[in-house]
Amino acid sequence: MIKYWLRAFTCVAFSLFTLTAYAENDNFTTSHFSGSGNCAQCHDNLTDTSGNDVSIVKDWGTSMMANATKDPLWRAKVATELERNSHLSSVLNDKCSKCHAPVANYEITQV
């Protein structure tokens, strides 16, 4: 059990740092997921009949959700929580990444 949490913590912490790289390269694929860049070829460059840009990936890319892992406020909050409660670091890393970095969390914990 401890080994599991240690592994999860190490992987999640590592992923949180490397996810920025994923954000730069949105054409990535993992065993369960695909980056939004792989959807853009069909779901971007779309306009409605009035010529308005209704590209789905572009719209999503600026959302809170798309930036949940890169958000500096979130990163700062996780860092202060980890500093204050270092004995709960594995719980915090798992809890916070479950929603804010779900791809990394899922890949690490659900293999």
Q: How far is the CB of 74 from ligand HEC (least distance, A)?
A: 5
Task: Specify the residue, 32 or 77, whose C-beta has the smaller distance to ligand HEC.
Answer: 77
What residues line the site for ligand HEC (CB under 6 A)?
34, 38-39, 41-43, 64, 71, 73-74, 77-78, 81, 92, 95-96, 98-100
The least CB distance from residue 65 to ligand HEC, in Å, is 7
Alpha-carbon gap, residue 75 to 83, rounded angstroms: 12
Q: Which residues contact 9 (CB under 8 A, 6 or more apart)?
A: 89, 90, 93, 94
Least Å distance, CB 10 to ligand HEC, is 18
Angular region, 29: left φ>0, alpha ψ -120 to 50, beta rest: beta
